[in-house]
Every structure is written in C-alpha cells, then in structure tokens.
Amino acid sequence: MTKPRDIVYTPNEAATLAVNAIQERRQHPGAGVRLGIPCIDKDMLPLRPGDLVTILGRPSDYKSGLMQFWARNLAHEIIDEDAKQDIVVFVTWEMAVEELCLYDLAAVTRLNAADLSQGRIDDSAWERLQAAAMKRAVTPMWFVGHSIERRKRRPRLTMTNIAKALLWVENEMGFHPRIVFLDYLQQMEAEGGETRRMQIFENVHRSKDMALALGCPVVLGCQTHRRVDERKWKLAMMGDGLESSNIEHTADKMLSVWMPKRTEQLGDYVEDTDLKVTDRLLLMSMPKQRMGPAGMWWSLYVDAERNFISELAREQEAKKSP
C-alpha cells in the first residue's frame, strides 16, 4: 500500500537531496557508466542511476549486438575494479540463454559465432572454448531469460517478475546491478493495457521505474517503424519507436543504429558522406540526451560474428599499419 510520505518531499528535503547528488558528482566527476567507444564517450554523458537509455533500430541493425558488446565491456570493467558486489544484467526475450552466452564465448576466443552454433570447431578450438568458458563462469554478467535445457521451468517474463527477481538478487544474494539491459521492448510480455500500444506504453514506464527502483541505468532496445527505411538517411529519429511515442518522452538518452549493408548496395556511398557501404560499417546517432548535446552521429567498425565494435577511423589506421 502506498504511503503518502514516501512520495512527498518538502522544499528542504528536495534541496538537500539535490546538493548531496551534486556533491557526489563533484567528488567523482568521471563516475557513471560509459559505452567504451572513445568517439561516443566524448559526447555522451556518463549514465547515472535512474537513467533510461533506448537503442532504436530496424531488425538486423545490430541493436542486440550493441547491447551485448556494451554489457561485456562493463563486466570486464567491474573485474578490473575488483568491485565484487557489482554485476551487469542482460534480460532477453529473443534468445535462449545458451545462444546468448555463445556470443560471449565467440568474442573471447575470436571464433566465428556461426561456426560455434553449428559445432564446427576442431580440437584446438574446443580447448580454447573450454578455457573461455571458465573465464566466462567468473565474469559478472548475469542473464535473465529462458533456457532450452531448463525449458520445463518457464515462468512469465513480465517486467513485474523481472523486477522482483532483480530485487531478490540484490537483497538475498548481495549483488547490485550496475546496469540492466532489456532486449527488447516489442518482445516484452504483455502486462496491463487493453491494446498492444498501451501494453508497450506501460512497459516503457516500467523500464524507467526499474532504473529508479534499482538505482542503476537501464538500456532498452526498441524496434522502429518501417517508414525509417523509406528515407535516404536511415538512422532513426526520436519519434520512430514502433508503437510507442512514449519512448521519446520517457528516455533520458536515445541512441540509434543503422547497418547500411541492410538497405544499400555494398560498395556504394552512404547518402551525403564519403563512407562506402561494407559488411563492417555501423552508423550510430544520438537523437536525444537530457542535459547534454544531441544530434551527432558516428561511423563505427563492427565484427558481428565476434561481437566486436570500434571506431571506424581507428580500425582503418590499424589496417594501414605495417
């Protein structure tokens, strides 16, 4: 039952909370969650507890891949910091846990994920895979979802059940999420609302509430309208979230991704740029950033088979090196 006192703040309390927050940020000016790609981190303010970030894109534009890459980077940061009680949480409605972890092993071993999924590896690669699995077993990246092996135990993956599970992880197991990734909005199970649009609207609110309740950022993948593909420049804008205009109002930051090879001819130039369309080109923009600059875009290099992303210029320089 809601207690009025829990949601009412006097002027003095509000001022004290604001000063405390500013003081904490003053003492730790670089604190917060970063993406781990320098050209983007230069412009994107670090994520703070309570932030909701959405990643917009059409199918096959690498939304899930970006979130997996980001999650893995942060998990390795936690290891480097020896922050034993912090974890990264990745919630998936789209893939089985086994399939999701397969990409982690591919990234560590530099083996092709497609080969791993088909079991096409020799004895030498198998040894590398087992060694990588041992490292993965102590990497603080937790999954929430369903498993093929444990398919007979499949509770509903509603936002309410996920929030309860994460509070249990924190209160009973003693691990605090540094960040939570939700992959992705249009796949979430219905909870409240008579129409699909209202159900998605509600799940956006629940995603923001999760960020506030857990005291960590939440990153939410979101599919966009087909109309995006009718444009020459196909990086999604703020109002392009499929079946939910609520995203542009609720999100603190919005990122957009586009793999030009999905819509353009390989070897052609991307509209109004000197960038050639390749298998490895990924474009990203930031349509919204509360309390910070927005509207910029970046060209990135992506190795989808090994789930690796870097600055395109840096990758090109590396290839030119003797």
Q: What is the pLDDT of residue 25?
A: 73
Number of H helices, E strands in the chain: 10, 9
Q: How far apart are the first and last CA of the chain?
A: 67
Q: What is the pLDDT of residue 18?
A: 87
Domain residue ranges in the chain? 32-320
pLDDT, tens only, 172-208: 999 999 999 999 898 898 887 778 888 888 899 999 9
Q: What is the pLDDT of residue 1?
A: 65
Alpha helices in 193-303 (DSSP H): 196-214, 246-250
Q: What is the pLDDT of residue 290?
A: 93
Is the domain defined by 32-320 classed in CATH 1.10.443.10?
Answer: no
Q: What is the pLDDT of residue 156?
A: 82
Q: What is the pLDDT of residue 9?
A: 86
Q: What is the pLDDT of residue 7?
A: 78
Q: What is the pLDDT of residue 112?
A: 87
pLDDT, tens only, 136-165: 999 999 999 988 887 766 778 899 999 999
253-258 and 52-57 beta bridge pairing: parallel
Q: What is the pLDDT of residue 260?
A: 97
Question: What Rg, from alpha-carbon coordinates, does the chain have?
Answer: 20
Structure tokens belonging to residue 36: 């781990």
Output the CA angle 302-306-309, nearest 5 degrees: 30
Q: What is the pLDDT of residue 87?
A: 96
Mean pLDDT by 10 residues, the chain (322 residues): 80 88 75 92 94 96 96 95 94 90 89 89 91 93 89 80 93 96 90 81 92 95 93 93 80 97 96 93 96 94 92 59 36
Alpha-carbon distance 312 to 299, whole Å?
A: 6
Q: Is the C-alpha dihedral spanning 238, 241, 247, 251 positive or negative?
A: negative
